[in-house]
Structure 1
Amino acid sequence: MKQKEFNIPFSGLKQGKHHFNYQIDNTFFDSFGYDEFNAADVNLDVVLYKSSTMLELDLEASGTVNVNCDITSEPYEQPIDGELHLVVKFGEEFNDEDDEILILPHGEHQLNIAQYVYEMLVLAVPQKRIHPGIEDGTLQSEVLDRLNELRPKEKRTDKEENDPRWDELKKLLTDK
């Protein structure tokens, strides 16, 4: 089983609230064969509510992952935050088809949350990774310089001039 330190042995716990804390670095993502991050520094807090019939887990993560910018390939620190609420019930057999409800077989005494943590953190990273230095103009990069050179130079100066092809369509809007 992946990441034994993410096993939560719930059978010995009293009913009520229990706290767990994890520090996640890149070895965690490496164990899943995920190599999109250059580095990771994420703090994960887990609160487990144990009742006689079920478990509820609240996972909260925050930290940074070092990723390469999609535009310039420059590495940068991307802040990430993630939250997940998971309900664990007991049944005849293991079932994790529902994203928010996990069914463990009766008699099970521990729960591994590594897969849930992995998915939550990977999904917390924006689809498009853009170095903050691009937005504020502080990033000096050959790639950016080259992109600026290739940017179209001409700009439409007369915004009032209409394209005659659109005029006929605009008439349709007023001919009601």
Structure 2
Amino acid sequence: MKKLRDYEIGIAKLANKKHSYEFEMDDSFFSLFEQEIILGGKLLAKVELDKTESLLTLHFDIKGTVRLTCDRSLEEFDQPVDIEETLLIKFGEENAELDDDLWQITPETQTLNVAQHLYDYIGLSLPMKKLHPRFVEELDEDDERDILIYSSRKAGDGEGDENDDDDDDVDPRWDALKNLN
């Protein structure tokens, strides 16, 4: 069984250059987090860490599939995942999240655990509505029909009709106002 320690990068003794890491994520990875959205999966994360004196730049490339439950049929299905993200970590006086993709750590920090970042990137890449692929195909077919359900325009009104000189539909009170100058 994997542990969170399997996703740590020792940054204290790294030289100022690029370093590459690979992390495999499977069902045991997702069991480390208290959640019910992702049932499992098989993914490979390639992390490239570029260390300088004042900044760590982490490039995440995550590919694979996660197992989800369909919102419509409650069937399990595999959702493909292909993610590329960048995280900047600068050195400062305290540990803090400054922005979504900018963190601050103290210079004394020995290791950096990327498990939570990996999980968050995977979770954020999932669609809001989790549909089995056969239902997604049905939605695509519905989009092709382009059925108009409601329109606030009158029949015959169109965007190009604004400059037409059809005075039949104009209220006579507006005609009187047109003559005011």
Both structures adopt the same fold (TM-score exceeding 0.5): yes
Match of 2:81 in 1: 80
Q: Which residue of 1 aligns with 2:42?
A: 41
Equivalences for 1:15-164 in 2 at 5 Å?
15-136=16-137
- C-alpha contact 2:98 2:104 (8 A) present in aligned 1: no
Q: Is residue 30–residue 40 contact of structure 2 (8 Å, CA) maintained in 1?
A: no
Cα distance in 2 for residues equivalent to 1:40 and 1:6: 17
Q: How many residue pairs were aligned?
A: 150
Q: Please tell me whether the aligned partners of residues 41 and 67 of structure 2 are also in contact (alpha carbons under 8 angstroms).
A: yes
- Quote the RMSD (CA, aligned, Å): 2.9
Amino acid at match of 2:75: E
Please list every run of 5 or more consecutive structure 2 residues that lacks an aligned counterpart in the other structure. 139-147, 163-169, 175-181
- Aligned residues with identical type, % of pairs: 28
How far does residue 93 in structure 1 lie from its aligned partner after superposition?
A: 0.7
Unaligned runs of at least 5 residues, structure 1: 138-158
Paired residues of 2:21 and 2:48 also in contact (CA < 8 A)? yes
**TM-score of the superposition, structure 2-length normalised?**
0.72
Q: Distance in 2 between matches of 1:50 and 1:167?
A: 63
Quote the offset at 1:83 in angstroms: 1.9
Residue equivalent to 2:165: none
What's the counterpart of residue 12 of structure 2?
Answer: 11
How does the TM-score come out when normalised to structure 1?
0.74
The 2-side partners of 1:40 and 1:98 are apart by 28
Deviations along 1:68-90, one digit per CA (max 9) or x if unpaired, are: 21111121111012222111111
Question: SS in structure 1 opposite 2:30?
Answer: helix
Q: Distance in 1 between matches of 2:78 and 2:44?
A: 15
- Residue 167 of structure 1: how far off its partner (Å): 3.5
String of CA shifts for 1:58-110, please: whole Å, max 9, x gaps: 01101101112111112111101222211111111111131111111121121
Check whether the contact 1:29–1:35 (CA below 8 A) recurs between aligned residues: no
Render the CA deviation track for 1:121-167: whole Å, top value 9, x for unaligned.
Answer: 01111111121123457xxxxxxxxxxxxxxxxxxxxx9xxx9x954
On the 8 A contact 1:87/1:100 being kept in 2, the answer is yes
What is the distance in 2 between the residues matched to 1:89 and 1:53? 6
SS in 1 for 2:24: strand
Radius of gyration: which is bigger? Answer: 2
Cα distance, 1:117 vs structure 2: 1.0
Q: CA shift at 1:39, angstroms?
A: 2.0
